[in-house]
Structure 1
């Protein structure tokens, strides 16, 4: 059986490098993706470089985030790999005194080019979430929360109230969207 210890270490460093976003280390964050890399998450879809620019705007807003990243599970095929990683997104709008905690799985397509592993595409599957009230209960608009799948409704609500709207439905645990995401990824892995 082939051992890929060095590749696994490089990919683990790549995935845990997401903390650069929480720290506002923007150029280091840009370096996690290949130049043609894309991302699809609740509040942004498109080229990764533009995502970093939008993240800078978010970092200057009243909304703060912290991502807790687990150990990635990696499936290799040559210089390509699918990486699935448990994560937790903690969000807090300091002006609204309202936050959220969302458990998700980052689902990444990574590729080794010129000897370096970087992300080609990042998506997320949302597993469950809830609100956080750091300074006591605040009123939540139930009709707004109800527009989103329960698994990420709290995150979407706080994002929307912070000026970062969620415009479509994303994959949740066991959903058809998750199955399609994984099927498309397997096809990409073997091409």
Structure 2
């Protein structure tokens, strides 16, 4: 097996391990997918890998249910750096306005990944939120959403942000979506970093 294929397989495995170990609450192994300076940008928490793990663990222990499912994958590899994009859905179950519901958000994980000392690890994960929906667990049940709160968030993750805000998380309201200046800036940042640029301005 040539080195290029080995690298691509290792990157895909890294992405899959992230989803499996995070959703299983396997926090020790989950930490191994990140480099020490890794950063996670999610709707509900933004910070270092260790901060994200701590927040995820705290939510897990309180019964917060967030699951991830992966689809198609593409990686641009340039030397010891890679930009990986992986189709995904985020599924969160909660009760909002006394109605049990599921929110499913479809998008992509946009990952800055680097090989250091022979090991690929995540440096930055920035999800791209493309579209979402909310469904009651009992079909036909009305969910009395607050229009003003719903309108505060971009269409790509509006319902996900709504329920996370209701749980009490300070939701970031300018995440990249399928189109727009935020995602174009992310693509430009990825191209620059892939060819040797600094990750942070």
Shorter-normalised TM-score: what interval? over 0.9
* Alpha-carbon distance in structure 2 between the residues aligned to 1:133 and 1:165: 24
Mean CA deviation greater in 61-70 or 115-124: 61-70
Aligned residues: CA RMSD: 1.5
1:101-112 matched pairs, under 5 angstroms: 101-112=104-115
Alpha-carbon distance between aligned partners in 2 of 1:99 and 1:140, rounded to the nearest angstrom: 14
Whether the aligned pair in 2 keeps the contact of 1:81 and 1:111 (CA below 8 Å) is yes
Distance 1:142 1:63 in 2: 24
> Which deviations, in whole Å up to 9, do the C-alpha atoms of 1:103-153 show, x marking residues without a partner?
011100000111111111100111100002113333211211111011100
- The answer on whether the counterparts of 2:130 and 2:156 sit within 8 Å (CA) in structure 1 is yes
Q: 1:128 aligns with which of 128, 131, 143?
A: 131
The equivalences for 1:45-84 within 5 A come to 45-84=46-85
Which ranges of structure 1 fall in alignment gaps of 5 or more residues?
none
- The offset of 1:41, in angstroms, is 1.5
Q: Secondary structure at the match of 1:87?
A: strand
Name which of structure 1's ranges 60-69 and 100-109 shifts more when overlaid on structure 2. Answer: 60-69
Q: TM-score, normalised by structure 1?
A: 0.94
Q: How does 1:95-174 map to 2 (within 5 A)?
A: 96=98, 97-135=100-138, 136-174=141-179
Give the distance between the partners of 1:153 and 1:103, measured in 2 at CA.
12
Give every structure 1 segment of 4 or more consecutive aligned residues whose post-TM-superposition deviation is greater than 6 Å.
Answer: none
Show the counterpart of 1:180.
185
Partner of 1:6: 6
Alpha carbons 2:25, 2:60 under 8 Å: kept: yes
CA distance in 2, matches of 1:31, 1:167: 26
Aligned residues: 190
- Superposition pairs of residues 26-37 of structure 1, within 5 angstroms: 26-37=27-38
